[in-house]
Structure 1
Amino acid sequence: MIKSVFGLLALFLGALWMSAATAEVILSDNEIALTLSHGPWPPAFVADPSNRVSGLPAAIKLGKGLFFNPVLSRDGSMSCSDCHDPSHGFADPKARSVGKVILDRNALSLTNVRGHRWFGWAGGNDNLWAQSLVPILNPDEMNHDDESLKTAIAKSTWIQDYEALFGPLSEQAATDVSVNIAKSLAAYQETLETGPTSFDRFRNAMERGDIAAAAHYPLAAQRGLQIFLGRGNCAFCHSGPAFTNREFHDAGVPYFINQTRVDTGRYGGLEALFASPFTLAGSYSDDREKSGAWAVRQVQPLHSDFGTFRVPSLRGTARTAPYMHNGSLADLQAVVDHYNTIDLERLHTDGEAILTPLALSKRESSDLLKFLRTLSDDEG
C-alpha cells in the first residue's frame, strides 16, 4: 500500500516537473513588444468633460435605473437592456436587433464603451451621451420624442432622482431633459468595463520580465497571438489596449439589407453626425473648451466610407455573438472562417487593401480561437 502511494506521488511529481519543464514563452522580441502595446488593462477612469455628470454616483444610479426601466420606451414595452443584455456582454444575441420592427444592425456591446472615439457601427455620434439618445428618439426603436420623454419622466418613480441631479423638470425645455437623461445613461455605461484576463496576466508578466509567470499562458494561445500579430495582420485594426483602432474598415461583409436596400455604414454615419446638434462642437456639450470638437470639425466624407463599419473591441468578445454589423457570423469560429477564406471581390476597389485570405490550417485556426478566448476570461 505504502509503495503504491509513493509510486503515485512519484508519477504526479514527475508529471508536474515535465509540465514545468515544457512551459515556455515562444514569442520573439518583436512579438513581445507588440504584445506590450495591447495594455495595460483596465485604463484609468477619466471623466467626460462634455458630460457634467460623468462619474457622479447619483448620475450612475439614475442612469442604471433608467437603463433597465421601460419608461424610456413610449409604450413602456422595452428597456435599453432588451437589446443590450447584461448576461450577453451588454450586446444582443439576435442577429439583428428588434425594436418596433426588425432593425438593420446588431446592437453593439456596451462594455468598455467609454474608451470609444466614435459611437455606433457607423460613427453617427462623437460622444456617448448623444449615442445614448438615438434609440430613445428613433421611431423604429423606443419611439419617444422630447415632449413625450419629459412627460414620462415626470410621471415616473425616477422624478425625484432626476430633479436632485438636474433641478426642477418643469422649468426645463424638453430637449434639455432628453439630453440630461442621455447624460445619466452615459454615466452608467461608463462603468461597464471588462476585467483583466489571462492575456493581461501574460502581457504584464512579460512587461516585468517574469518569464516563469508568463510561461503559464498556454502555448496554443501564444501561437494564436503570433498569428494575430503577424501573418493574420489582425492587429492592424484591432490595436491598443482595447484591441480596436476605433476607426472604420471594410471587413468584406455584404452591406445589402435586402434586395432593394443597402447599409451605407460610415458614409451614412457621417451624414447623421453633421446633422446632429449633440456633437462635441455643439451647445449641449458641457465642455467649455470644446476640446474634442476637432474630430467632427475635421472629418471629411469619402466615397470609400460607403459600407465601412467601426472596428469593435475584441475584449469580452467571446460572450457577444453573433458578430459583424448585421450579426451574420454566428460564432467566433465563423469569424475566423470568414477571414480564412475572405472573398476579395467583396472589398471596395477604392478602399484599403489590407485583407487577404489567411489560409490557416485546422490547428492554426484552433490556436487563433484559443487566443481570442483569452481576451474574455475576465477575473472581475
Structure 2
Amino acid sequence: MLAGSSEPELNDAEKRTIASMSLSALAPLPPDLTNRFADDPGAAALGATLFFDTGMSRDGNVACGTCHKIDRQFQDDLPRGVGVAETNRRTMPLAGVARDPFLFWDGRRDSLWAQALLPLENPKEQAGTRLAYAHYLKRRFGERYERIFRPLPDLSGLPASAGPFGTPAEQAAWAGMTQAERDGVDLVFADIGKAIAAFERSLVHGQTRFDRFADALAKGGMPAPENDLSDEERQGLKLFIGKARCSTCHIGPRFTDNEFHNTGVPPVADLPEDRGRISVLGEMFADPFNCLGKFRDGGEEACGELRFMQKGSPELVRAYKTPSLRGVGDRPPYMHAGQFATLEQVVNHYATAPRAVEGETELHPLILSDQERAALVAFLKTLSD
C-alpha cells in the first residue's frame, strides 16, 4: 500500500509520465486538410442536425445519435450497436474522435468525414442509399446546404433511391445512371460526411480528477484534497505506467497510441468471423472517399497516414484499435464486440494473456495479486469526468 502522500512515492520519471497523460498536455486540434468545411460553424450546425435526424435512415427510425447517445459519452452501453438491426461491433464513444488517423475498431476509414458515410449505407445501421440521402437533403435542407457548400445538382430525373449498395434494384438503378449523375450524388454524399465531421470535431473529453491530480504534480505541488487519489488509486496508477505496462499502448492525454493490436480477445459465438485490421486494408484503398480520392479537399500531402501505413503485416491479424480509456469506468461492456462485462474481467484478461484464436497476441502474462488488480480498476475509474 502506498503512503497517503503520493509525492514522495513518485520519482521524477513517473511524474513526467503522469504529466504527459493530462488533458493539459493535449496539443491543439490540427486542421483537417481533407475537409475545408471542418471548422465552418454553418457546416457543424448542419452536421449536428443530420447527426440526430432519424430521417437519415431507410426506416426513418435511426440516426447517428441512436447509437452515439449524447448523455452516454456518445455510445450506447450495449455489447453491439443496434441500428436497423444489431451490428457485429461495440459502439465506440466519440469524444476526441477528430484526432484519430483511422476510424472504426479496424480502422477501415482514414478520415472522420469518410467514417461518417459508412453507417449511412450499412444495411445493419442506417441502411439507406446515397441518392435517397441526396433527395432528402435537397428536400429538407437544400437552402442551408447551398449556403454552406455549393449548388445542388439536378436530381429531378433520377430514381428515388439508388447506390452501389442496397437492394439489387437500387444497385441496378445506380448502374443505370450516367457517370456525371453518379459523381454529382457522390459529391453531395461526401459533403454530408464533411458536415457531420465538422460537428463531431466539437466533441471533446472533459477534465477528470486524474487530470487535476496530474496537473498539480506537474506544477510541483500537491493536489487539493477533493482531487487527490486514494492509496489504492495511486497504486493502480503506478502499476498502469509501470509493472502492468498498460501505458505501452494506452499512452498520452487520450490514453491511446491510435494503433492496432492483437491482444487475444476471444471472438463472440454466432457472430460472423472478424479478423480485425487485416481484413479491411483492401476496402480502405478501394473506398472512393478515402484521402487519395477525388472528393478530398487539399493536396495529397495530407494523405501520409494512408500512403505509409502497414499494408499486410501478420501483426494485423485479429488486431483492433487501442480505444481511449477516458471515461472507461462508465461505459461497460468492453472490447470490440462487448466480450467483457466489467473492468475486472478486462484486467484479468490482460494479466492472464490467453492465446489468440488466430495470429499472435502481444500480451504476456503478468503476476498481479488480487489487490493489484483491484488497484488498477480503481485507477481507471479516475479517468471519468
TM-score bracket relative to the smaller structure? 0.7 to 0.9
Using the alignment, how far apart are the partners of 1:312 and 1:287 within structure 2? 29
Task: Tell me the CA shift for residue 213 of structure 1.
Answer: 4.8
Whether 1:167 and 2:150 are equivalent positions in the alignment is yes
Cα pair distance change 1:257/1:47, threshold 3 Å: farther
What SS class does the counterpart of residue 168 from structure 1 fall into?
A: coil
Using the alignment, how far apart are the partners of 1:352 and 1:342 within structure 2? 8
The residue identity in structure 1 corresponding to 2:73 is G
The range that moved more, 309-318 or 328-337, is: 328-337
The residue identity in structure 2 corresponding to 1:298 is F
What SS class does the counterpart of residue 71 from structure 2 fall into?
A: helix
Matches within 5 A, 1:25-40: 25=7, 26-40=9-23
Which residue does the alignment assign to 1:308? 319
Which residue does the alignment assign to 1:243? 255
Matches within 5 A, 1:72-111: 72-111=56-95
What SS class does the counterpart of residue 169 from structure 1 fall into?
A: coil
Using the alignment, how far apart are the partners of 1:22 and 1:362 within structure 2? 21
Task: Tell me the CA shift for residue 263 of structure 1.
Answer: 0.2
Cα pair distance change 1:321/1:161, threshold 3 Å: farther
The residue identity in structure 2 corresponding to 1:295 is E
**1:174-218: CA deviation from partner (whole Å, max 9, x where unpaired):** 111111011010011111111111111121122221136598332
The range that moved more, 279-288 or 21-30, is: 21-30
Gaps of 5+ in 2: 155-182
Matches within 5 A, 1:56-205: 56-156=40-140, 158-171=141-154, 173-205=184-216
Using the alignment, how far apart are the partners of 1:197 and 1:256 within structure 2? 33
Identity %: 34
Gaps of 5+ in 1: 1-20
Using the alignment, how far apart are the partners of 1:81 and 1:359 within structure 2? 42
The range that moved more, 113-122 or 290-299, is: 290-299
Match of 1:222 among 229, 234, 242: 234
Contact 2:73–2:93 (Cα < 8 Å) also in 1:
yes
The residue identity in structure 2 corresponding to 1:317 is V
Whether 1:371 and 2:379 are equivalent positions in the alignment is yes
> Structure 1 length as normaliser, TM-score?
0.86
What SS class does the counterpart of residue 132 from structure 1 fall into?
A: helix
What SS class does the counterpart of residue 202 from structure 1 fall into?
A: helix
Matches within 5 A, 1:318-337: 318-337=329-348
Whether 1:361 and 2:369 are equivalent positions in the alignment is yes
Task: Tell me the CA shift for residue 101 of structure 1.
Answer: 2.7
Task: Tell me the CA shift for residue 28 of structure 1.
Answer: 2.1
Q: CA RMSD in A?
A: 2.1
Task: Tell me the CA shift for residue 258 of structure 1.
Answer: 2.6
Task: Tell me the CA shift for residue 363 of structure 1.
Answer: 2.1
Match of 1:231 among 243, 250, 275: 243
Task: Tell me the CA shift for residue 316 of structure 1.
Answer: 1.6
**1:153-186: CA deviation from partner (whole Å, max 9, x where unpaired):** 1222x33322221132235811111110110100
Task: Tell me the CA shift for residue 303 of structure 1.
Answer: 2.8
Aligned residues: 351
Task: Tell me the CA shift for residue 114 of structure 1.
Answer: 0.8
Using the alignment, how far apart are the partners of 1:263 and 1:116 within structure 2? 22
Task: Tell me the CA shift for residue 92 of structure 1.
Answer: 2.3
Larger CA Rg, structure 1 vs 2 = 1
> Structure 2 length as normaliser, TM-score?
0.85
The residue identity in structure 2 corresponding to 1:294 is G
What SS class does the counterpart of residue 267 from structure 1 fall into?
A: helix
**1:72-114: CA deviation from partner (whole Å, max 9, x where unpaired):** 1022121111111122211121111123332111111111101
Contact 1:256–1:263 (Cα < 8 Å) also in 2:
no
Task: Tell me the CA shift for residue 280 of structure 1.
Answer: 1.7
Using the alignment, how far apart are the partners of 2:307 and 2:238 within structure 1? 38
Using the alignment, how far apart are the partners of 1:108 and 1:272 within structure 2? 20
Using the alignment, how far apart are the partners of 2:268 and 2:218 within structure 1? 45
Task: Tell me the CA shift for residue 257 of structure 1.
Answer: 5.4
